[in-house]
Amino acid sequence: MSLDPGYLDYPGRREGYDHDLYRWSDLHQRTPVRWPQGSVAIWLCVSLEWFPITPADKPFRAPGHMATPYPDLRHYTARDYGNRVGVWRFLDAFERVGVRASFAVNAAVAERYPEIISAVAAGGHEIIAHSTDMNGTIDSTLAEPEERALIAGALTRIEAATGKRPQGWLSIARSQSWRTPDILREQGVTYCCDWVNDELPYRFSNGLINLPLNHELSDRQIIATQQQSAESWRQSLGDAFDWLAREAQREGGGRMLPIHLTPYISALPYRIAAVEGLLADLAGRAEAWFATGEEIVRCWAAQNPAEGAAGS
């Protein structure tokens, strides 16, 4: 079966993706970025999630959601462990080595657990929006008014609970519709974390910045999905840091290592030592700059103005 000749004449076909959401570029062709210290920006991002005991399958069921017939108390309480126990271990681990993180928070968590929000703020950490709850998924089958209401509602509820409107947004499962970047920008969001096709920030055509939160090295992917050990996860992150540090030295420009953490996965008592060990190791490296997402975006944007910047 031959292709329709019109296929080759598709007007949207160009270098990179077939859309106008952002300008495509190779990493090695961009102006080198410089961090305030070190050569590898380490971005810790912790997901604080509330899973309703009854999942909504429209537009889709979130990863990690309830799996067995109602009431799925086993999975519900396993997820709840993260907010009752796990997050406190992360906060202690961060304080011990003197680093700050971004916490991607469901609006339901911000409202239901004020003591967690107070502790996150007291530690100097950043809060970014992570939808309403784990039923608040987005894709292009979601009607535009519903998506607008979901995003605006999540941001407004988190602002009411924390006193500050989030500048960052992480979608559930990193899933967006074609409208999401414009809606986020209209709602005053500075950056999102959903597009994983880079290792440095880049700018959408509408001014929104993407801060890639790669899923390949997340604890969910390595530990929960691939069923590897916490020590294997730690080794993978250490190897990634070493590679990025060498590449930064060779290329003369900074790199970024996102570390996505889930309290009900990595903060269990037989895994938390791997997290603490990794943080201690990286904190002792001269090449490391631990920073929140907002700090990384601000530093990058100052070196990459909105118009005429390579890689923007």
φ, ψ (nearest 5 deg) of residue 66: -55, 140
**Average pLDDT rounded to a whole number, residues 118-147:** 98
**Average pLDDT rounded to a whole number, residues 86-109:** 98
136 pLDDT above the threshold of 70: yes
Residue 307 pLDDT: 63
Residue 280 pLDDT: 98
CB atoms within 10 A of CB 191: 24
Peptide bond preceding 212: is omega within 30 degrees of 0, i.e. cis?
no
Residue 312 pLDDT: 47
Nearest Cα to 48, choosing from 137, 99, 111?
111
> Taking the mean position of all CA atoms in its chain, how far away is CA 265?
16
CA–CA distances in Å: residue 197 to residues 194, 216, 233, 311:
9, 11, 21, 13
Distance (Å, whole) CA 211 – CA 216: 15
**Average pLDDT rounded to a whole number, residues 75-85:** 97
Residue 11 pLDDT: 74
Query: pLDDT exceeding 90 applies to what percent of the chain?
Result: 90
b/e per residue, 208-232, with b = 16+ CB within 10 A? bbbbbbbbebbbbbbbbeeeeebee
Residue 310 pLDDT: 36
Burial of 145 per CB tally in 10 Å (0-12, 13-18, 19+): exposed
CATH number corresponding to 33-303: 3.20.20.370
Residue 308 pLDDT: 44
Q: What's the mean pLDDT when you consider all of the chain?
A: 95
DSSP 160-199: HHHSS--SEE--GGG---TTHHHHHHHTT--EE----S-S
Per DSSP, helices labelled H in the chain are: 73-81, 87-97, 107-112, 114-122, 144-162, 180-186, 219, 230-251, 263-266, 272-283, 293-303
pLDDT, tens digit (0-9, with 9 covering 90-100), for 186-218: 999 999 999 999 999 999 999 999 999 999 999
Nearest Cα to 87, choosing from 62, 53, 107, 113?
113
Residue 15 pLDDT: 76
Residue extents of the structural domains in the chain:
33-303
Evaluate whether 262 touches 45 at the Cβ level (below 8 Å). Answer: no
Evaluate whether 86 touches 74 at the Cβ level (below 8 Å). Answer: no
Q: Of 17-31, 73-87, 128-142, 239-253, give the lowest mean pLDDT range.
A: 17-31
What the block records as the tokens of 16 is: 């990179």
Question: Which residues, in sequence order, are CB contacts of 182 under 8 Å at separation 6+?
Answer: 206
SS3 of residue 82 by DSSP: helix
**Average pLDDT rounded to a whole number, residues 68-79:** 95
Give the predicted TM-score (pTM) of the model.
Answer: 0.94
pLDDT, tens digit (0-9, with 9 covering 90-100), for 230-271: 999 999 999 999 999 999 999 999 999 999 999 999 999 999
Distance (Å, whole) CA 289 – CA 200: 14
1 pLDDT above the threshold of 80: no
pLDDT band with cut points at 50, 70 and 90 for residue 98:
very high
